[in-house]
Amino acid sequence: MQYIQSDPSFSADERAAVYRAIHTRRDVRGQFLPDPVPDDVLARVLTAAHHAPSVGFMQPWDFIVVRSPEVKQQVNAAFRVAHAEAELMFEEGKRTTYRNLKLEGILEAPINLCITCDRSRNGPVVVGRTHIAAMDLYSSVCAVQNLWLAARAEGLGVGWVSIFHQQALREALGIPREIIPVAYLCVGYVSHFYSKPELESAGWLPRSPLESLLHFDRWQGGADGAAEGLLEQVRAGRSPLERGEIPR
């Protein structure tokens, strides 16, 4: 039996709310407040994550909710080791800038969350993952993004921390070998959200113009007449936030 959605359309306000969540979502590192996150709010954002798309409806994710100060300390120590190594990977001119970037909020965020991928969930042959194995990992990433956007709508900041040796993260969290830790997230209420990515404001990288990333019909395919209208819109576009259509 197939059920259909009784109201398939979004009102203008609902649509604006979706775009607002997308355009005001930020990676949060240094603005966490110690205020506890109520269970009903946490349950909603986890449920949003669990409703992400997944290859073959595999739902390969699990969610480790970390509140223990001892576990956070262990994860933080793993970050420190990798962060010190990472600094040396950048050319000398950028090292000081890198060192001064705040790239995590592990100890400050009241909740840390690890989203994983169980690559063997629901058997070895998965609809849609028959030829590109990484589709299961991409599915877990979709869960991360759902959670990130739902959290923004709840007024919660989320920061993704990826500077770890995977083995150190596994050890801190007791994750078995066959499970992949996909994302380590710091979650909590915040003093404020920045209106731009911090790496953009710090001069690390600018946002690439969307126009420069568009191809038509094939890799590096140029625009023909049919594409001109779209390009014009994209050029005029910037984000609805920058156009003042969304409250900052």
Ligand X SMILES: Cc1cc2nc3c(=O)[nH]c(=O)nc-3n(C[C@H](O)[C@H](O)[C@H](O)COP(=O)(O)O)c2cc1C
Residue number with CB closer to ligand X (197 or 240)? 197
Task: Using CB under 6 A, count the residues that bind ligand X.
Answer: 11
State the minimum distance, in angstroms, from the CB of residue 161 to ligand X.
Answer: 5
Token pair 């990484």 is found at 134
Amino acid at 133: A
CA angle 97, 102, 108 (to 5 degrees): 165
Instruction: Tell me which residue of 18, 1, 20 sits closest to 10, measured CA to CA.
Output: 18
Q: Which stretch binds ligand X (CB under 6 A): 65-73, 120-128, 156-164, 171-179?
A: 156-164
Point out the residue whose Cβ comes nearest to ligand X.
Answer: 197
Residue number with CB closer to ligand X (43 or 81)? 81
Task: From residue 194, give the alpha-carbon distance in Å to each of 17, 90, 147, 239.
Answer: 18, 26, 19, 15
Residues 185-244 that bind ligand X (CB under 6 A): 197, 199
**Binding flags for ligand X, 40-79, as an x/- string (CB under 6 A):** ----------------------------------------
The number of residues making up the chain comes to 248
Q: What are phi and psi of 184, to 5 degrees?
A: -110, 115
Kindly state whether residue 26 participates in binding ligand X, applying the rule CB under 6 A: yes
Q: Among 45, 103, 109, 169, which residue sits at the site for ligand X (rule: CB under 6 A)?
A: 103
Kindly state whether residue 137 participates in binding ligand X, applying the rule CB under 6 A: no
Instruction: Tell me which residue of 116, 113, 134 sits closest to 177, measured CA to CA.
Output: 116
Question: What is the DSSP pairing of strand 111-118 with strand 156-161?
Answer: unpaired
Amino acid at 5: Q
Q: Among 16, 22, 163, 223, which residue sits at the site for ligand X (rule: CB under 6 A)?
A: 163
Q: Which residues bind ligand X (CB under 6 A)?
A: 26-27, 29, 103-104, 160-163, 197, 199
